[in-house]
Amino acid sequence: MNWQAISFDWNQIRAFLATAEKGSFSGAARALKTTQPTIGRQISALEDTLGVTLVERSVRGLTLTEAGRDLMDHVRAMGEAATLISMAADGQSQQVTGDVTITSTDLFGVTIMPELLMPLRDMAPGIRIRIAASSDIQNLTKRDADIAVRHVRPDQPDLIARHVGDFRATLYASRAYLDRAGRPTSMRDVAEHTFVSALETDAMLATLRDQGLPFQAENFVMASDSGAVVWEMVKAGYGMSMLPETMCDPEPGIEKVFPTLTPIVFPVWLVTHRELRTNRRIRVVFDLLARGLADKIQVR
């Protein structure tokens, strides 16, 4: 830890975060139960300490500068950590109980979700998690789920969405398949190989060809609308598939076909409804997932 690099005051960070989320000094003052001049002084002090302007003040109100926007992800993470520390210190997390339903693709639910949620058993054992495998954002607006992991930002005004980072996908196959079918040494070689995919064959073909991979419809020997099924088929040796690096790289027996191939980048959004601000059990799970996903993405 570089202690000399930490020169700001937490109260200043808290004032900046509240101002950014509430959109005004007065809103931040109400949230933090202080006065508007105090908020203004704390943000000015933070700007002086960091040597950057974070907030533009005008007759139209407050807007974050580019430097302010760049800080927001880090400041939010600090706020979430502070919340969890406070809850752990007074035992509140142990008292949070009830059901929280999370929806994600079945592939994400099978391969990544178990690791992310494991700390919850110690942090808040009274929370019961329900996993709903789905890619439909409507299950949030209909209140069939509390939190969603999605790859597209929702546009519904009653939802809160946070971009926690980007996953990368590239071409993988099992070692057993490559031992049997041969390891391609050029893009043209993949035309002799089989491919496992989701059912949207035309869209996948277009994506593969954009990557310079000359697959044809005839190469698609196995398809499913279940990502978990595709994953198991690849592991069983049916052929190649485009899969996330964060899932495949640690998996024994799975190889990246072309290490130099430019990966496809796709965003990861954590989405919930506005009850996040008032429901403590949803807040605990949302913050845990946000932190775990950010850590997993940063490892890449």
Q: Return the domain boundaries, the chain.
A: 3-90, 97-300
Count CA atoms within 13 Å of residue 212 on its CB side.
10
Residue 90 is predicted with a pLDDT of 47
Q: Is 60 exceeded by the pLDDT of residue 91?
A: no
Q: Which of 238, 161, 228, 163 is nearest to 195 (CA)?
A: 238
DSSP state at residue 9: -
CATH code of the domain occupying 3-90: 1.10.10.10
Using alpha carbons, select from 108, 103, 102, 104 the residue that is nearest to residue 228: 108
Give the CA distances from residue 94 to residues 1, 120, 285, in Å, rounded to whole numbers and listed in that order. Answer: 30, 10, 13
Structure confidence by residue, pLDDT tens digits, 11-44: 888 888 888 888 888 888 888 888 888 888 888 9
CATH number of this structure's domain 97-300, picked from the four choices 3.90.79.10, 3.40.190.290, 3.40.50.2300, 3.40.720.10: 3.40.190.290
Over residues 188-199, mean pLDDT = 90
DSSP 77-131: HHHHHHHHHHHHHHTHHHH--EEEEEEE-HHHHHHTHHHHHTTHHHH-TTEEEEE
Instruction: Please give the average per-residue pLDDT across 157-184, as a whole number.
Output: 91
**For residue 20, what are its two tokens?**
């950014």
Contact 227, 266 (CB under 8 A): no
Same fold yes or no, 3-90 and 97-300: no
